[in-house]
Chains A and B, each alone.
Chain A
């Protein structure tokens, strides 16, 4: 169990990354959703013990992660958002090096490295230098290293960036499977990634937690507030000022608009089945309105 207690982070330049962020996370995948600069990566780096918070703390199985970072690092598998590699090393050498820093050694390390390289579909390139790897292949090396030491807490920050569609599906399935008996935190702004694997979702905005719910709860909340309508090209601009458009497609009969709303609507609008993306947009919309009112 991971318990986050009033985490706050203010950077030296005055930027606030997190404000009074509290959350309890159990077994399974927590999808962390938020826009650019919402504070997702700040939260992830604090939980990965790479950065220290300026206030608050978090507990892992009763251990204070800020005071005892080692207790977290022993069970942690972490894939940062932006990470580099040592270009002169091969994929196998790089994964093995990180395995040694995790405390693995000998035959079990070699075996685990080989298994993970196979799991991430890199076994054919395992002995090639990382300097020649594509972005997607590097990302897979990052995924392999995150699973090196039987992690109980897996933190993955934008893990599917750079992966092709097939690899993306493969990674989602892998994440679902490893979530059994583990806490997995998946940070992304790609809602479909979260939809496929998350057992709960946290929405973060301006460094604050604005919502923590199951996908079903979020969908239920959005029910009756998602609509579709067909508008002419001339009226599109006015429509966008009236409602929050989540999708639009130009067709012969006009522009098919999908929108979420807190009350206003468009002429001829019909209620639609909400998707998780609609629910996320609606949550963000409400949080924005609340901030504005405050």
Chain B
């Protein structure tokens, strides 16, 4: 038994050390902690992360006893772990593959299952740190605003029951995405968002017979992320309520705070959560089946037979000469007979070249992106704009870290056109790229309301700044993807504070776009200063 455990423990230790030594971890955990603090706001204010409406129209929220704070922390932990946590842990197998460590591991006796189990355990360990931060924020809230005696069982039990399957399902899906063809890269970051919203949020609600108000007819049996279970338990705890919200709600006036006994945890609830914990490991089993164990031959695509059009075109195409030894000799003798070229390097040209590379590197995704960008300029509503902002994730998330990830830093940064500050160069290139694509949307909104048009423009620049700032600071695109998608999700769910471009929610506040742009510019400045400091 210990023979099986040792390699897994070794992997967990290596992963944890790798992550703890990365500045990205610190930035990510600080953001998670900040989000956790905001989730449990001052009870004297107009916001609450749990509220209900009674039949007579009164809206109420619980007082800050240990049952409520524990429940709020569990709700936050389930969303943070499944939505953002995935982006923190995904890409581990990909990193082993690209760094060449995978090839070394493949030559050891480590089995596929043991390797992936190690990754799964390491993800769980890291996500538990996220849980710990949510708990820390909850304890902080208790010490600041808590009322009544502190009950450890009321505080910790809901938290553990709801969030542990969420950790397991996120970790196992992260492993699956890492080994599944087509999902291990930037495209997988977007696909995960749909897995989260459709498989982990909508499907459990649907299977529990949810009506349009979110009232469940049956108990949500299949619910690894725990969000449907939370809704059901919360609803059960206030029988007279006709409307219920387990998300952050903000009103014009303060909520009326009333005593709340918390959710009732029966043996059945415990059994269902235990079942979900087991079910959560299913994607890991699929990953073991799909994993190629770093065999390069298994990742090669089978050569496709050229189509009819391609074969016809080939008949008329001038074929390149075959490299025979005679051809080689001729090439050698005329090695320096190159046509003259005039180079005029400039920062502007380099910026346009980089913007063009973003387009070229966007693979097939560039076409739906272009389509949604054009449609966003003509169609009313936020549908096309939402798709446009979503498709930006895989396209711009890794632009700032591209050289680090691909190993082209020396090649690129020794070119004469590249400006002294690579961070500002990247920011300019992404801003040019996004401004060109976002122009139809901005013009449409500007015609309707100049202030909102300017807010949309600021939002587009925010995306450029956040992608470049966070990408450069963390040398990757995952943190940006996680934070940005969380904002996008909350903005679409009509949280005006999250609507960074003022075009996604129903009641946007243009001022927030300015705030977001300021944050992005601060991130870009921090990244530029850090890069300059590291040069020294």
**Bound pair (A, B):** yes
Chain A residues with a Cβ under 8 A of chain B: 45, 48-50, 52, 70, 73-74, 76, 78, 80, 82-89, 93, 97-98, 100-105, 108-109, 111-112, 115-116, 118-119, 121, 123-124, 126, 132, 142, 145, 147-150, 166, 170, 173-174, 177-178, 180
Q: Does B310 touch A at the CB level, under 8 Å?
A: no
Q: Is the CB of B414 within 8 A of A103?
A: no
CA distance A89 to B411 in the complex (A): 15
16 contacts between A and B (CB under 8 A): A50-B410, A73-B345, A73-B414, A73-B415, A80-B411, A88-B363, A93-B360, A103-B344, A104-B343, A108-B340, A115-B338, A119-B335, A121-B328, A150-B340, A170-B328, A170-B332
Q: Does B408 touch A at the CB level, under 8 Å?
A: yes
Instruction: Report chain B residues within 8 Å CB of A85.
Output: 406, 408
Q: Which residue of the partner chain, among A78, A83, A145, contacts B407 with CB atoms under 8 Å?
A: A83
Q: Does B282 touch A at the CB level, under 8 Å?
A: no
Q: Is the CB of A89 within 8 A of B343?
A: no
Q: Is the CB of B339 within 8 A of A112?
A: yes
- Smallest CB–CB gap between B472 and chain A, Å? 17
CA distance A26 to B346 in the complex (A): 29
Given contacts A50-B410, A84-B408, contact A105 B349 (CB under 8 A): yes
Instruction: Report chain B residues within 8 Å CB of A102.
Output: 343, 345, 415-417
Q: Does B378 touch A at the CB level, under 8 Å?
A: no
CA distance A83 to B357 in the complex (A): 18
Instruction: Report chain B residues within 8 Å CB of A98.
Output: 411-412, 415
Q: Is the interface of B mostly helix, strand, loop or mixed?
A: loop
Nearest residue (CB) in B for A78 is B414
Q: Which residue of the partner chain, among A93, A103, A118, A150, contacts B346 with CB atoms under 8 Å?
A: A103
Q: Which among B300, B322, B335, B341 has the highest number of chain A CB atoms within 10 Å?
A: B341
- Smallest CB–CB gap between B335 and chain A, Å? 5
Q: Does B1 touch A at the CB level, under 8 Å?
A: no
Q: Is the CB of B411 within 8 A of A83?
A: yes
CA distance A73 to B347 in the complex (A): 13
- Smallest CB–CB gap between A183 and chain B, Å? 15
Instruction: Report chain B residues within 8 Å CB of A78.
Output: 410-411, 414
Q: Does B413 touch A at the CB level, under 8 Å?
A: yes
CA distance A48 to B418 in the complex (A): 14
Instruction: Report chain A residues within 8 Å CB of B342.
Output: 104, 108
Nearest residue (CB) in B for A44 is B410
Q: Which of B499-531 contact A (CB under 8 A)?
A: none
Nearest residue (CB) in B for A145 is B411
CA distance A48 to B413 in the complex (A): 9
Instruction: Report chain B residues within 8 Å CB of A145.
Output: 411
Q: Does B315 touch A at the CB level, under 8 Å?
A: no
Q: Is the CB of A111 within 8 A of B415?
A: no
Q: Does B149 touch A at the CB level, under 8 Å?
A: no
Q: Which among B320, B410, B418 has the highest number of chain A CB atoms within 10 Å?
A: B410
Given contacts A86-B402, A170-B328, contact A101 B415 (CB under 8 A): yes
Q: Is the CB of B361 within 8 A of A178?
A: no
CA distance A294 to B522 in the complex (A): 53
Nearest residue (CB) in B for A118 is B331
Q: Which among A85, A93, A103 has the highest number of chain B CB atoms within 10 Å?
A: A103
Q: Which residue of the partner chain, among B331, B349, B353, B408, contacts A119 with CB atoms under 8 Å?
A: B331
CA distance A148 to B363 in the complex (A): 26
CA distance A52 to B346 in the complex (A): 22
Given contacts A103-B345, A103-B417, A150-B341, contact A52 B360 (CB under 8 A): no
